[in-house]
Structure 1
Amino acid sequence: MKKIVTILGARPQFVKGAVLSRIIEKYKSIEEVIIHTGQHFDENMSAIFFNEMNIPKPKYNLNVNSLSHGAMTGKMLEKIEEILLTEKPDAVVVYGDTNSTIAGALAAKKLQIKVVHIEAGLRSYNMQMPEEVNRILTDRISDLLSCPTDTAIKNLEKEGFNNLPSCIEKHGDIMKDAVEYYSEMAAEKSAIMEDENLQKNEFVLATIHRQENTDDINKLKDIFSALEEIHKEKTVVLPLHPRTKKVLDKYNLQPKITFINPVGYFDMLVLLKNCKMVVTDSGGLQKEAFFNKKHCIIAREETEWIELVEHGFADLTGSNPEKIMDAYVKFDKSALSFNKELYGSNVGGKIHQSIINLIEE
C-alpha cells in the first residue's frame, strides 16, 4: 500500500489534517503516518484537537517548540529527515505556512520524496512575515500545489509556476469541510456559551496573536484600545493566546475586555456561530467567520484571503483604532447576504484523489 507522511504542528493544521485523515480512513486506499512537530504544545492548543476530533494519534511527536525561527526549523528538519528515512513514504503532505510546513517540505525534497502543499498559492506580499517566506519557499519545491481559490492560482501563474514541473490544482478550502462536518458535533459537545454566560449575537469574538502585532507594543495597545471601545457597547470575548498573554504581562497591560482561556476547536466553532462579528489577525479565522456568516475585522495590513474584502465580508484595518471602530459600526448594521460561493465543496475528497493520482504516477 502507498504511504504518505503528514506533518502537523500548529493549531489550524490539526483542523485541516482531520478532514483528510477521515477520508483516508474511510477509503483505506493509502497509509497515513502523522508527525506532530510539537510547534503548538499547550494542551488547549494541541492535544485537545486530537482528542475531540478523533484524529489518529501521531506516530511521532518531535516536541520542538519555544525556539527561534532558525533553531525551530533546523531541529524539525533534522528530526523529520530521520523519520522519512525510516518510513520511506511516497509523498509528504504539508499544510499552510508555518515552520513545520517548510521543515517538512525541505526534508522531503532533499530525499527526493514528493511534496503536497495544501493551501498553496496564498500571498500577503509582505516579506516581513515569516509565514510569507515559508509559503513561497514551500510552493517552489512542491510537486502538487493544492490551491483554495482562483486568486491563489493567479498568484502562482504570475510567479511563473506554469513553467515549473509541478501540478497546480484548485481544490477549494479544506477548512470549509471541517466547519461543515464538525459544526453539529460542536453544538452538542460544547458548553462554552453557558460556561462564559454569553448570549447569541451579544458579543464580539476577538483573537490577537500574530507576531507583527504582539512584537510591536504600540500596535498591540492600539488594537486593545479599539477592543475596549467596542466592549463598552458589546462584550468583547478574547481567548488569550500564550504569546499575547506574555506581552500583556510583560508591560502590565490589563485591557478592559473579557479574556478567556484558549479554547478547543468545538468551542471556537460555537463562539463563531453565536457571535455578532469577529476581530482577528488570524488567517484561518477570517474564513471560518465567513463560513459562519459573520463579518470579520482584520487587524492586519494585508490578507491572503483578499476575496473576503473584495466582496464586503471583511475589512482590513491594521491596528488603527479609528478604522477598527468604523468597521465595527458598519458591520453592526450590515444586512449583507453570505450566500456567495467562494471556497468550493468536497475539498478533502478532491485533495485525496489528487494525492492518489500523484503517488501512483
Structure 2
Amino acid sequence: MPVTFADGYTETLRAPTFNLTKPGYGAFDDELMVSPRIALPMIGLGLLEQIPDEDIKKQAVSNNKNADKNANSIRGKFNWVMDPQTGKHALGRFGWKAGQTKLITQNQSAFSEDMGLTSNIRPHESCMPAQTACMNATTGADEQGNGKPPVEVNDEIAKFVEFYTRNLAVPNRRNADDAMVLAGKKRFYDMGCQSCHTPRYQLPKTNDDHIEQHGQVIYPYTDLLLHDMGDDLADRTIAGKLPPKDAQVEFLANSYEWRTPALWGIGLAQTVDPQATFLHDGRARTLMEAVLWHGGEAAKQQQKVLKLDKQGRAELNAFLKSL
C-alpha cells in the first residue's frame, strides 16, 4: 500500500492477509474474531505496574473533556477487567488490549493460553468443547487416582517468574542531546504524539514488596489507555467483516481499540532482533511505517506526519531511535 508525503516521497506499507486452515476439532464460526499478535517487549514491566491507577484514570478524563470540544481530538479509556487472582474488577494495563491487571496474572495467562500450562490462578486448560481429551485432562484424576492433577506451574515457580519479569531493565537513552534528536522531539510534541504517548511518570514510595521500583521517575511514553486506531488496524471476523463498535472483544476493549504501547527501548528493537517488526501483528517493518498506520483518534497526527519533508522525517526518526 503506497502512501505519499506532501513532498512526493512515497513509503510503501505492508497490508496483511491471513489464511486459516480448518482445525481438526470443528469448523470455524463465521463471527470468529481473527487477531494475529506478536509478543510485546518485556522491559520495564515492573515500572509500568507501579504507575498509580489514578494517574492513568486522570489521563482518560482529561482526554475525553478535550474530545467533547473537538470531535477529532484524542480520546482514551481504561480497560476495567476481572482480576483472576482476586475475582474483583481492576484497571487493566498489560497486553495489547490492556486485558491484564498485574504481572502475576499476565504471566499465568501466558502460561495457560500460550503454553498450555496450568497454575493456581489459571488451574484449567483452555480447551474447546470438542477437545474431549483436553477436557478430561483438566478434570480427571492423576495416575494414582487422587482427584485433580497438580498444577504445572506451582506458586514458587510463579513468584520466580514474576520477579524476573518485574525487573527486566529499560535500556539507557542514546544521543538524547543530539541536535537531530532534539529537533525530532520538538516535532513529536508539536504534532501532539504525546497526547497518547505520555512521556513521564513519578512512581510513589509504597509499603508493598516491590521495593526495586519505588520512587523512580520513568519515561515510558505511554498512557496505558485504550484508543480507537481506525478501521485499518481493527480486528476482523474470519469472513473479513469489521465488527460493530459496541462489540467487546476483551472486557471493555473493542476491535478498534489498542493500548498505547510504551516506546522506551523501541530504538533498539532491531538491534536486539534484526527481524523485529512493529504494531500488534508485526505488519510495520520500520518505525515510520508504524506511524503511518495510525488512524482513528490519531488520524490528525498521521496527516501532520505526511506533511513532513525529508529533513522532518529524519528528525522524527532520530528521536524515536533514541528512545
Q: TM-score range by the shorter chain?
A: under 0.3
Normalization by structure 1: what TM-score? 0.24
Q: Higher strand share goes to which structure?
A: 1
- Which structure shows the bigger proportion of residues in helix conformation? 1
Answer with 1 or 2: which has the greater Rg: 2
Question: Which is bigger in relative contact order (C-alpha 8 A, separation at least 6)?
Answer: 2
